[in-house]
């Protein structure tokens, strides 16, 4: 039965996610976690501005968590209902449009991932500790939120856990305090962040510096000591990747970058804002996952700083990150981006051509064909514009929309300023049709900028 608190979908791909009537500006999370029993208790403050007068406001929140108290704008305990993944809160007094909305939620429970068409996402137990991997809709597994990528806010995350464990969250560690057998870690993430990119990583880790002191972007590794030697080899070229991507894509958009390697194996690496998470299997001592190291780093620009408004535009994240793999391979002395693009196109030609990359549908939005064909669309654009203009476009794209929400239409419009010839036909065939186009020949004429 559909809850009365569900409204018209904000996003057709995840119709149950996202909420109307307010815009969140900040989350403040105070969490306590017991790894042995997988028990989470929390107090989350949601600070927002209302966009309409409403009898109630909803947040996305897993039913695995039990709400004990809710307060609105400093009032006595407010009425609430928690059903079918929605926490509906009724203020004691009507709040005018444009008014401050502060909701404080006290809760506890045994967190578990959210099940969906893409598997299980959200809070997940490890052999020792836990991780959070929320793309696309798992944030509600561990805190009440407006769980849609177009809703970006600053965060303060405090996590208290058993002292032997290392606890990591997004942003900068601003306080660490040990008391008895527990330690509290407090992180501040000032840059706007989508809820699915918020994360906590808990494990028997140690922190190490990556690269030389004085690098323009501080980089850290949070890894089990047993994997340190492998990590030092496998991720040794990460400073070079950071330098390359900063030159090609524009300045790195956050204060620092941290790579976590879990003691457990993971199917795929996971991006979070300012953080990438790899499994022990990605740290093999042979650089067997270096393309994924490049891919996850690129997501800091494409996905984390520039975040899609609607999930149908997933190629803006994955196509760009996949293309970054090819850019890195070329710079690192491997095959050229053009060779990799043509090999990828030949491989795609052997697969069904039944996906529209610009709107693949929820079932297929993480299909590898979306990643590869999105990258091919960028390579076709690069061949059209030539390198100088192509990378100038990418740098303007990341600068203009830094820490913002983006659409395909905005990218297409911006690209149009870099070419005399219309580009909409190029984007239409690569992103808007099912048949796989041919790549233009390498070294074609291209078109010059008239800006």
User: For the structural domain made of 306-431, what CATH number should be given?
Assistant: 1.10.390.10
Angle subtended by helix axes 238-249 and 368-400, to nearest 10: 60
Could you give the percent of the chain with pLDDT greater than 70? Answer: 97
Report the catalytic residues: 296, 371
For residue range 225-262, what is the model confidence (pLDDT) as tens digits?
A: 999 999 999 999 999 999 999 999 999 999 999 999 99
Q: Is the pLDDT at 333 greater than 80, yes or no?
A: yes
For residue range 83-130, what is the model confidence (pLDDT) as tens digits?
A: 999 999 999 999 999 999 999 999 999 999 999 888 999 999 999 999
State the chain's mean pLDDT as an integer.
95
388 annotated ligand-binding residue: no
Interval 24-41 mean pLDDT: 98
For residue range 178-201, what is the model confidence (pLDDT) as tens digits?
A: 999 999 999 999 999 999 999 999
148 annotated ligand-binding residue: no
Q: What is the pLDDT of residue 445?
A: 46
Report how far apart, in Å, the C-alpha atoms of 196 and of each of 137, 228, 279 are. 6, 29, 19
Topology given in CATH for the domain delimited by 1-202: Immunoglobulin-like (2.60.40)
Q: How confident is the model at residue 443 (pLDDT cuts 50, 70, 90)?
A: confident
CA dihedral 49, 51, 53, 56 (to 10 degrees): -70
Q: What is the pLDDT of residue 214?
A: 87
295 annotated ligand-binding residue: yes
Q: Name the nearest CA neighbour of 27 among 192, 257, 201, 270.
A: 192
β 39-50/100-109 pair status: antiparallel
Say if residues 240 and 211 touch (Cβ distance below 8 Å): no
Strand order in the sheet with 114-116: 114-116, 119-125, 130-133, 200-203, 166-169
Say if residues 56 and 5 touch (Cβ distance below 8 Å): yes
Interval 340-348 mean pLDDT: 98
Domains in the chain: boundaries:
1-202, 205-300, 306-431
Interval 56-76 mean pLDDT: 96
Q: What is the pLDDT of residue 451?
A: 47
User: For the structural domain made of 205-300, what CATH number should be given?
Assistant: 3.30.2010.30
Say if residues 32 and 161 touch (Cβ distance below 8 Å): yes
Cα–Cα distance measured from residue 237 to residue 241, given in angstroms and rounded to the nearest whole number = 6
Q: Is the pLDDT at 2 greater than 70, yes or no?
A: no
Q: How confident is the model at residue 6 (pLDDT cuts 50, 70, 90)?
A: low
Q: Of 35-49, 80-94, 430-444, which gets the smallest average pLDDT?
A: 430-444
Q: Which two tokens stand for residue 214?
A: 């004085």
Radius of gyration of the chain from Cα atoms? Answer: 22
Interval 3-14 mean pLDDT: 82
Q: Name the nearest CA neighbour of 398 among 274, 254, 239, 258.
A: 254
CA angle 270, 276, 280 (to 5 degrees): 75
Q: What is the pLDDT of residue 117?
A: 87
């Amino acid at each position: 039965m559909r809850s009365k608190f569900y409204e018209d979908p904000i996003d057709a791909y995840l119709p149950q996610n996202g909420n109307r009537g307010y815009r969140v500006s900040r989350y403040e999370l105070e969490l306590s976690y017991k790894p042995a029993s997988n028990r989470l208790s929390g107090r989350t403050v949601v600070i927002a501005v209302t966009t309409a007068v409403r009898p109630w406001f909803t947040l996305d929140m897993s039913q695995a968590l039990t709400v004990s108290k809710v307060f609105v704008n400093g009032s006595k305990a407010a009425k609430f209902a928690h059903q079918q993944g929605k926490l509906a809160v009724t203020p004691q007094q009507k709040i005018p449009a444009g008014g401050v909305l502060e909701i404080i939620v006290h809760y506890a429970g045994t967190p578990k991932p959210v099940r969906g068409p893409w598997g299980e996402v959200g809070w997940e137990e490890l052999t020792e500790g836990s991780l959070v991997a929320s793309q696309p809709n798992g944030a509600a597994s561990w805190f009440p939120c407006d769980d849609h990528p177009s809703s970006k806010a600053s965060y303060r995350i405090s996590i208290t856990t058993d002292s032997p464990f290392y606890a990591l969250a997004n942003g900068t560690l601003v306080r660490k305090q040990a008391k008895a057998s527990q330690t509290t870690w407090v992180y501040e993430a000032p840059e706007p962040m989508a809820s699915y990119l918020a994360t906590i990583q808990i494990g028997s880790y140690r922190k190490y510096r990556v690269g030389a002191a004085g690098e323009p972007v501080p980089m850290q590794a949070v890894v089990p000591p047993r994997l340190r030697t492998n990590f030092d080899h496998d991720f040794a070229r990460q400073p070079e990747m950071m330098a390359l991507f900063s030159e090609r894509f524009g300045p790195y958009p956050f204060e620092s970058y941290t790579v976590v390697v879990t003691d457990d194996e993971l199917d795929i690496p996971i991006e979070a804002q300012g953080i990438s998470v790899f499994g022990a299997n990605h740290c093999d001592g042979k650089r067997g996952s270096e393309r994924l190291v490049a891919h996850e780093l690129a997501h800091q620009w494409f996905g984390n700083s520039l975040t899609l408004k609607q999930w149908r535009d997933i190629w803006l994240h994955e196509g760009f990150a996949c293309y970054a793999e090819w850019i890195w391979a070329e710079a690192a002395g491997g095959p050229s981006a053009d060779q990799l693009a043509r090999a990828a196109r030949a491989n795609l030609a052997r697969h069904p051509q039944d996906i529209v990359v610009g709107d693949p549908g929820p079932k297929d939005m993480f299909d590898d064909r979306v990643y590869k064909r999105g990258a091919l669309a960028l390579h076709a654009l690069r061949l059209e514009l030539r390198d100088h203009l192509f990378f100038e476009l990418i740098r303007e794209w990341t600068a203009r929309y830094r820490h913002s929400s983006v659409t395909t239409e905005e990218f297409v419009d911006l690209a149009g300023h870099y070419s005399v010839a219309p580009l909409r036909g190029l984007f239409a065939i690569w992103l808007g049709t099912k048949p796989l186009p041919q790549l233009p020949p390498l070294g074609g004429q291209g078109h010059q900028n008239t800006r």
